[in-house]
Every structure is written in C-alpha cells, then in structure tokens.
Amino acid sequence: MALGAIRAARQQSPRGVPLGVSVVGYDDSPLVAFTDPPLTTLRQPVQAMGTAAVRALLDAIAGRPVPSTEYVFRPELVVRGSTAAAPTPVPAGVPARR
C-alpha cells in the first residue's frame, strides 16, 4: 500500500516523495530498504509477539492460568528516505515565497 502511495504521490505532486509528501509503511520488510525512495516503516517485534503467543498457548494446553489482559509490544520506527522534516510554517502576515 505504501509503495502505491509513493507512486501516486510522484504522479500527483511536483515535489514527490519525501519533499511534497512523506510516506510511512507498516510491518517492515527486507525489500523496502531497497525501494526508491527507501520506505520509512514501523517495525513490529514479531519474534517477541510470537514467543508470547506460543507461551500463552502452551500454558493454556498445560492447564495453567493464562492472563486475559492485552499484550503490549513496543514497535520501532525505522526512518528511511520516504520521509522528510515538516516544512517550517510561515508566520502570519509574512508573504509566502513562490
């Protein structure tokens, strides 16, 4: 989806990505570091999530109590070339540059 957004932004925006629009993907993939531009993404801790799920399943199978609360995992923002700093706002009363 994010790569499609980059393609559409290139077609619609004269400044493209990342100067006209920043794009952030989700879940990361080894390939997105090699796209043009490399995609900024939110990486989930998949191994920790899988470990917690298996542990809960094994506890349930063994008859041990399984917590009924949510598991919270901290994602990691991987900044690459598809994002840029936001433009500096022009103060009120100052004419915008063209």
- At which residue do the structure tokens 């490399």 appear? 38
Where do the H-state alpha helices sit in 1-98?
2-12, 16-19, 46-61
Question: Residue 92 falls within a domain, yes or no?
Answer: no
- Tell me the three state secondary structure of residue 77: strand
Containing structural domain, residue 61: 2-78
Query: Which candidate, 19, 31, 30, places its Cα nearest to that of 81?
Result: 19
Question: Residue 65 falls within a domain, yes or no?
Answer: yes
Question: Residue 94 falls within a domain, yes or no?
Answer: no
Output the domain CATH number for residue 6: 3.40.50.2300
Question: Residue 96 falls within a domain, yes or no?
Answer: no
Sequential pLDDT tens for the chain (98 residues): 999 999 999 898 888 899 889 999 998 888 988 999 999 999 999 999 999 999 999 999 999 998 888 889 999 999 999 999 987 887 877 776 65
Domain count, the chain: 1
Question: Residue 58 falls within a domain, yes or no?
Answer: yes
Judged by phi (left if over 0) then psi (alpha if -120 to 50, else beta), residue 25 lies in beta
Query: Which candidate, 23, 11, 4, places its Cα nearest to that of 84?
Result: 23
Question: Residue 90 falls within a domain, yes or no?
Answer: no
